[in-house]
Structure formats: C-alpha cells, structure tokens
Amino acid sequence: MTTFPALRMRRLRQADWTRRMVRETTLSPNDLIWPLFVCAGQWMEEPIASMPGVFRQSVDLIGKAAREAADLGIPCIALFPFTQPHNRTEDGREALNPDNLVCRAIAEIKAKAPEIGVLCDVALDPYTSHGHDGLLKDGRILNDETVDILCQQALLQVKAGCDIIAPSDMMDGRIGAIRAALEAASHKDTLILSYAAKFASAFYGPFRDAIGTKTALTGDKKTYQMDPANTDEALREVALDLAEGADMVMVKPGMPYLDIVQRVKAEFKVPTFAYQVSGEYSMIRGAIDNGWLDGERTLLESLTAFKRAGADGVLTYFARDIAKLLA
C-alpha cells in the first residue's frame, strides 16, 4: 500500500475543481420531495409556531407553491391537512370525504402544475379526535378495522388524482391490502411509497403542532411505530412491505436514523427515501435563525449526508430553499 509521502490525501483536496472532480455524492432538485400543510379558507397563510418559516396554506396557495416547486425542478409534493376541529371524530370519517382538504389540494395542484407528482399520507391522525393513526377502542388501536378504512382512504386519494400513496400508519398488512384494493379498482400504475421503518420519535413534535394533533393526542404511538432502539426489525418491516407490493420504502426520522437508511439500501437495493422530519427542520432552522449555523452550508451538508447514506431522495421542509441554492 502506498504511504506518505508518495500518498498525500490532501493533493486531491487542494482546489475547488479537484474536489468537484472526485466528489462521490451530488445533489440535485430531483432528490427533493416537499411536504406542504393544507388548511381551510382562501388566501390563507398561517404560521406554525414550532416551525418558523413553514406555513399552513389554503388550497389556492398550495397550487401556487406547487407551481413554484415545479419551476424549481422539484419532482414531488407531499400533502398534509390541518383538519378543522369540528371535522375531527372518533372514527376519523373526514378521511373519506371526497371534498376534504387533501382531495381539493390534489385537484388544485394538478390544475396548476400538472407535471409535478403528488404524494399523500395514508393514516387517520389528521382526522381523529384522539390524534391516533388508527381506530381506538378501549385504549387499543384496532389493526384490521383500521386497514379497511385506509384502503378506502387510499382509493379516494387516487380518484382525486394522487400519484403516490404513502401509508404512514404502521398497521400490519396495510400495504398488501391497499395494493389489492388498488388493483381491484384497476389503479395499476399507482405507486406505493411505504413508510416502512417509521419510529416512535420525539422529533415529530412540531408536525403534530402543524396538523393540530398535539394537544389531542392521548398516550403515545409506541404500539404501532417502531422502537428507536431497533435495526433488525426495520429490515423485517421493509422486507414485508416490499413483498406486499410497495414500490419504494421510507425511513423516518432522517438524520438520527442514517444507519437504518444505509442498511435498508444495502440490503434491498430498492428506491429508498428518508424523511427529514419536523423536529429536524426546527432544530436546524432555529440554529440558523439564531446565527449559530450557516444556513446554506448546513442545508447542503445535511442533504448530502442523506444521499451519502444511500437515500434516493429526501422529504424535507427545506426543499424549496435547497432547490433555490442548487439553481
């Protein structure tokens, strides 16, 4: 093996052009999925206290945001609704209302930016009075009964024009059930991006603020979301979801879970996404806003880290900022 001084590792780092020549990981707007929060009203933009710089927007403004994203080369938008409190019920039935915020936002995006993909979460938490992703009975989350509703929710979203169904509920068997329901309804090209390895994380805190489930949530989600201490279990979850018909898989949260991203990508070699979740956004945003971190360098480095670990793309609230930096 060549050693010093024949080998000087710094030779390749001596200038910007040499560093660019040997760079192993690159970023492009194609790596970004931009999550947006939809709320009721018109020309409405509501700040989210724990996510500075992120807003809930009414359907018309979502259309404008999607147009901007498409022009920046971002391939896909993810939608999350802030359901008005009077529409939240024990059984989350607003999830099955064809005129709900998500369905209207899909139509608006398709009208304003037909070339961008739309991804929708499948789960009941934006719609339930108790804030859980599934039906709650006697303090327990009902698995199979929830899956039946999730299939209907997925079909509704696809009818409204959604391209990617992203089940985030962590019920057992939901990918197979949703895939069968889609095939039975001849939705053969609908993509499924499964939140396969989703951990019961404290980093979702600001998101629950954003969709208004923080105070409502009774208990925690540990009987369905994964224990942050486990990795082998994440591989089992991914294997199951792929076997049941997922086209792509996701690891969530992101930066604290890059070891999971790396293992999933190495093991399965399928399109693998990671979610830089709300708490990660707020930590970075807060440090930037306080002048503790340099914004541009921090955003690019954090995204590069995801890609280096093996992610094919990242859901991030910074998507627009990063796409602008890359432009």
For ligand PBG, which stretch binds (CB under 6 A), given 86-94, 118-126, 144-152, 171-179? 118-126
**Interaction between residue 123 and ligand PBG (CB under 6 A):** yes
Residues 153-192 that bind ligand PBG (CB under 6 A): 168
Run of H or E residues at 112: helix 101-112
CA 124 to the chain's CA centroid: 15
Is residue 110 among the annotated active site residues?
no
Give me the catalytic one of 198, 221, 265, 307.
Answer: 198
- C-alpha triplet 14, 15, 18: angle, nearest 5°: 90
- Least Å distance between CB 118 and ligand PBG? 16
Count of residues making up the chain: 327
Question: Measured from the CB atom, is 50 or 272 closer to ligand PBG?
Answer: 50
> What percent helix, strand, coil does the chain show, rounded to 5?
45, 20, 35
Nearest residue to 143 via CA among 242, 224, 249: 224
For ligand PBG, which stretch binds (CB under 6 A), given 52-60, 86-94, 117-125, 233-241? 117-125
Query: Which tokens belong to 182?
Result: 């889609």
**Interaction between residue 277 and ligand PBG (CB under 6 A):** yes
- Least Å distance between CB 275 and ligand PBG? 6
Q: Mask of contacts with ligand PBG, 214-253, x by CB under 6 A?
A: -------x--------------------------------
Helix axes of 319-326 and 59-71: crossing angle, nearest 10 degrees: 30
CA separation (Å) from 145 to 77, 96, 134, 177, 231? Answer: 29, 14, 8, 12, 28
Question: Measured from the CB atom, is 58 or 201 closer to ligand PBG?
Answer: 201
Question: Measured from the CB atom, is 121 or 321 closer to ligand PBG?
Answer: 121
A 10 A CB-CB count for 292 gives: 9
Is residue 252 among the annotated active site residues?
yes
**Interaction between residue 133 and ligand PBG (CB under 6 A):** yes
Binding site for ligand PBG (CB under 6 A): 121, 123, 125, 133, 168, 204, 207-208, 221, 277-278
Catalytic residue positions? 198, 252
